[in-house]
Amino acid sequence: MVTILDKTFGPFLSQAIIEERIGEMAAQINEDYHGKTPIFIVVLNGAFLFASELLKRLDLSCEVSFVRFASYENTQSSGNVREILGLQENLSGRDVVVIEDIVDTGLTMNQLLNQLRPSNPKSLAVATLLHKPEALKAPVSLEYAGFEIENRFVVGYGLDYDGLGRNLNAIYVLQDISSQA
Ligand code: 5GP
């Protein structure tokens, strides 16, 4: 068990299981991008650990870049608009793979892909460590998804709770209040 601030989290995915799966994902990417020079776009902050474990298993010639989102409330439409910051590279004609920690509702990934498409990449794919299929609200195709998980809150391996827990080397799940009694 791990306690972060006011919450208790229990073991969910061990480091060994996570890294075995990342090895499988890397093997698939090595095969799919053989002979190509893709550019990987890592979404900060959460994807940093997953990205480092994935990228060091690739035997491709590739570039790596990092983006983060600036979130702001749009005054003209309801909802949270997120703009990508930090992307310097020209993606035109490139094979692009976005690396994300988790796709929950899919809204973030959907917005990100919509902002990348006008740059005319040759191909655009997504690699996410975790995916919550039940929570999905926006259509996103996930070419490389590590684990499909239930709609529960998880921390560790890059994922935080209120800024904490990103450095945990495994993934933990929020315990029900009833099980904490
Ligand atoms: P989406 O736009 O797909 O709903 O959410 C994407 C973002 O929400 C993720 O990049 C992550 O920051 C956050 N998120 C969604 N589910 C979880 C979760 O179970 N744990 C943590 N720590 N963050 C989550």
Residue 103 is assigned to a structural domain of this protein: yes
Query: Pairing mode, if any, of strands 171-174 and 154-155?
Result: antiparallel
pTM score: 0.94
Residue 181 is assigned to a structural domain of this protein: no
Q: In ligand 1, which atom is closest to the CA atom of 105?
A: 4
Residue 172 is assigned to a structural domain of this protein: no
Give the pLDDT band (50/70/90) at residue 84: confident
Residue 167 is assigned to a structural domain of this protein: no
121-141 pLDDT per residue, tens: 999 999 999 999 999 998 899
Tell me which residues are annotated as active site. Answer: 104
The closest residue, in CA terms, to atom 2 on ligand 1 is: 108
Q: In ligand 1, which atom is closest to the CA atom of 174?
A: 19
Q: Count of domains in the chain? A: 1
User: Which residue range(s) make up the domain with 65?
Assistant: 15-149
Residue 130 is assigned to a structural domain of this protein: yes
Q: Which residues contact 100 (CB under 8 A, 6 or more apart)?
A: 43, 46, 47, 108, 109, 126, 127, 128, 129
Closest CA to 21 of 149, 135, 159, 141: 149
Segment 17-28 mean pLDDT: 98
Q: Please state, as a whole number, how many other Cβ atoms lie within 10 Å of the Cβ of residue 63.
A: 12
86-125 pLDDT per residue, tens: 898 999 999 999 999 999 999 999 999 999 999 999 999 9
Q: Which of 110, 140, 159 to mutate to test the pocket of ligand 1 (most atoms within 8 A of CB)?
A: 159
Residue 2 is assigned to a structural domain of this protein: no
CATH code where residue 107 lies: 3.40.50.2020
3 state DSSP class of 146? strand
Segment 28-41 mean pLDDT: 98
For residue 61, how far is its CA from the centre of ligand 1 (angstroms)?
30
Which of 18-32, 45-59, 132-146, 165-179 shows the lowest per-residue confidence on average (mean pLDDT)?
165-179
Segment 56-61 mean pLDDT: 98
Give the pLDDT band (50/70/90) at residue 181: very low
Residue 63 is assigned to a structural domain of this protein: yes
Residue 5 is assigned to a structural domain of this protein: no
Q: In ligand 1, which atom is closest to the CA atom of 106?
A: 3
The closest residue, in CA terms, to atom 11 on ligand 1 is: 102
Buried/exposed 70-102: b ≥16 CB within 10 Å, e otherwise: eeeeeeeeeeeebeeeebeeebeebbbbbbbbb
